[in-house]
């Protein structure tokens, strides 16, 4: 049984299922382990983490006199319901008819390939000391923006499917699309939206000057290596200032997309109102794509699980209103999420519903009762005739499932 406890209640012999907190703030890269060592217990308590999940079926429980806590399923329902009910003021009206997800994915696939090539070229230009071509970057942003307008889920979900080797380049394409989608959700004007897309495309440009052995290291970075990587926002900002080819919005996002609302980010340790709207947007989009992507040292989390974790981090890391707008545009269960239905079947989310964030379109393909694949079936959970609902997020690995992308990528 999974149970959420305060770190003060942690003791040796417990099975740690998950450490709650920002993905880079705790000292453990193992996500699940039995706590045996007193030094590990000390490190967890000193890390700043306040809560964690334990599995009482695999290790010790909290002592009996402690107050009971809610189970994971109860917490998930609370998070999902709260996000679904959150209202963003003046939500933008759709100005073009939404294109079928399959049709737009075929177009988005070509844009992703073009985007990767463009970012690779920009990084090469920077490494060779040449000025980057912002005209080419601007044209790419227009293509990405058009795709997001037709169906935001298509390009955003495809850009997430990057290999560890492609991460540095495709991450820029993904953040560009996310920034455009978020800008539209917030009702920003077209000029600002295009500038924010450009900001997303260029936000990690400074990594072109980082040592390749550090940038692509297949393990956790040392403190010294992490200090080097933390220099990329200032390096990218300097490149763009010297080139004098972009406006203030991209400059702002490039420099401050790693800042946090509580002032614990970098490079300026800015907090609260010191951070512009654009920097706050960049922080949300950058982290979402980072934690859903496979990295040289760590496999990404599922998109729905990533949304849940980011919701837990809102106190301190993100601007809550901007994060809620972000969820509105990509969904509580983004495309590609694996979910369990009330019928005890597994399904993958293939598109969002305009009726409810809790009722996306899904493709059912697996029975948890028989633990076998079944004939795929498309279901619109928002249809009044459909009685099924999502009861939990699921981990494909826990069910021995691989390549679930086949069910939603054309």
Per-residue pLDDT of 130-162, as tens digits, reads 988 788 889 999 999 999 999 989 999 999 988
Contact partners, residue 213, CB within 8 Å, separation at least 6: none
Residues 190 and 309 in one domain: yes
pLDDT in tens, 291-327: 999 877 778 899 999 998 898 887 789 999 999 999 9
Give the pLDDT of residue 77.
Answer: 47
Q: Domain holding 220: CATH number?
A: 1.10.3210.10
Residues 326 and 344 in one domain: no
Is residue 75 situated within a structural domain?
Answer: no
Dihedral sign, CA of 349, 155, 285, 321?
Answer: negative
Among 330, 356, 378, give the residue marking a domain's end.
330
Cβ atoms of 47 and 33 within 8 Å: the answer is no
Among 280, 310, 330, give the residue marking a domain's end.
330
Residues 391 and 324 in one domain: no
Is residue 224 situated within a structural domain?
Answer: yes
Among 26, 48, 69, give the residue marking a domain's end.
69
| Mean pLDDT across 168-172 | 94
Residues 344 and 291 in one domain: no
Does the structure show a pLDDT above 70 at 105? yes
pLDDT in tens, 11-28: 888 988 877 765 445 555
Cβ atoms of 236 and 248 within 8 Å: the answer is no
- For the entire predicted model, the pTM comes to 0.80
Residues 351 and 297 in one domain: no
Cβ atoms of 323 and 338 within 8 Å: the answer is no
Residues 225 and 182 in one domain: yes
Give the pLDDT of residue 80.
Answer: 57
CA 79-84-89 angle, to 5 degrees, is 120
Is residue 207 situated within a structural domain?
Answer: yes
The percentage of residues in the chain with a pLDDT greater than 70, rounded to a whole number, is: 88
Q: What is the C-alpha separation between 234 and 196, in angstroms, rounded?
A: 18
Residues 57 and 167 in one domain: no
Residues 233 and 156 in one domain: yes
Give the pLDDT of residue 300.
Answer: 87
Residues 220 and 297 in one domain: yes
Contact partners, residue 240, CB within 8 Å, separation at least 6: 202, 205, 246, 250, 251, 254
Helix (H/G/I), strand (E/B), else coil: 378: strand
- Whether the upstream peptide bond of residue 267 has omega within 30° of 0, thus cis, is yes
Is residue 128 situated within a structural domain?
Answer: yes
Give the number of C-alpha atoms closer than 13 A to the C-alpha of residue 192, restricted to the C-beta side: 13
Is residue 87 situated within a structural domain?
Answer: no
For residue 352, what are the domain limits?
Answer: 338-407
Residues 308 and 349 in one domain: no
Q: For residue 70, what pLDDT band results from cuts at 50, 70 and 90?
A: very low
Cβ atoms of 225 and 219 within 8 Å: the answer is no
Angle between helices 303-313 and 277-292 (to 10 degrees): 140
| Mean pLDDT across 56-68 | 69
Helix (H/G/I), strand (E/B), else coil: 222: coil
Q: Cβ-count burial of 142 within 10 angstroms (0-12 exposed, 13-18 middle, 19+ buried)?
A: middle
Residues 311 and 377 in one domain: no
Total domains, the chain: 3
Gyration radius of the chain over CA positions? 21
Q: Cβ-count burial of 211 within 10 angstroms (0-12 exposed, 13-18 middle, 19+ buried)?
A: exposed
CA 165-168-170 angle, to 5 degrees, is 90
Is residue 84 situated within a structural domain?
Answer: no
Is residue 142 situated within a structural domain?
Answer: yes
| Mean pLDDT across 353-365 | 93
Is residue 94 situated within a structural domain?
Answer: no
Dihedral sign, CA of 317, 319, 322, 328?
Answer: positive
Residues 125 and 242 in one domain: yes
């Amino acid at each position: 049984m999974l149970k959420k406890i305060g770190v003060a209640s942690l003791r040796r012999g417990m099975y740690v299922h998950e450490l709650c907190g920002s993905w880079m703030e705790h000292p453990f890269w193992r996500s699940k382990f039995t706590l045996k060592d007193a030094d590990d217990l000390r490190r967890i308590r000193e890390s700043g983490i306040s809560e964690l999940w334990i599995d009482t079926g695999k290790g010790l429980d909290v002592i009996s006199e402690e107050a009971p806590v809610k189970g994971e399923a109860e917490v998930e329902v609370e998070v999902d319901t709260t996000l679904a009910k959150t209202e963003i003021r003046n939500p933008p009206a759709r100005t073009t008819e939404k294109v079928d997800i399959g049709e737009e994915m075929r177009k988005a696939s070509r844009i992703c390939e073009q985007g990767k090539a463009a970012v690779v070229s920009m990084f090469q230009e920077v490494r060779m000391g040449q000025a980057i071509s912002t005209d080419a970057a601007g044209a790419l942003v227009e293509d990405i923006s058009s795709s997001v307008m037709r169906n935001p889920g298509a390009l955003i979900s495809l850009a997430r499917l990057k290999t560890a080797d492609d991460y540095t380049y495709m991450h820029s394409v993904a953040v560009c699309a996310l920034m455009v989608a978020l800008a539209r959700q917030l009702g920003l004007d077209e000029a600002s939206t295009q500038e924010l897309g450009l900001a997303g495309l260029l936000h990690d440009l400074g990594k072109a000057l980082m040592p390749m052995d550090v940038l692509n290291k297949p393990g956790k970075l040392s403190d010294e290596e992490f200090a080097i990587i933390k220099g990329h926002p200032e390096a990218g900002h300097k490149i763009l200032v010297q080139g004098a080819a972009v406006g203030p919005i991209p400059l702002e996002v490039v420099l401050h997309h790693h800042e946090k609302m509580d002032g614990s980010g970098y490079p300026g340790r800015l907090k609260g109102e010191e951070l512009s709207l654009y920097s706050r947007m960049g922080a949300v989009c950058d982290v979402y794509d980072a934690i859903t992507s496979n990295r040289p040292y760590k496999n990404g989390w599922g998109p729905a699980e990533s949304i849940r974790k980011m919701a837990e981090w809102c106190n301190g890391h993100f601007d809550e209103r901007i994060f809620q707008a972000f969820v509105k545009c990509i969904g509580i269960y983004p495309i590609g999420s694996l979910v369990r239905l009330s019928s005890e079947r597994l399904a993958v989310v293939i598109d969002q519903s305009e009726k409810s964030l809790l009722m996306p379109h899904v493709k059912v393909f697996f029975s948890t009762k028989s633990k076998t694949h079944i004939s795929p079936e498309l279901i619109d959970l928002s249809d009044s005739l459909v009685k099924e609902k999502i009861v939990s997020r699921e981990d494909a690995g826990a069910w021995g499932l691989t390549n679930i992308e086949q069910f939603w990528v054309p």
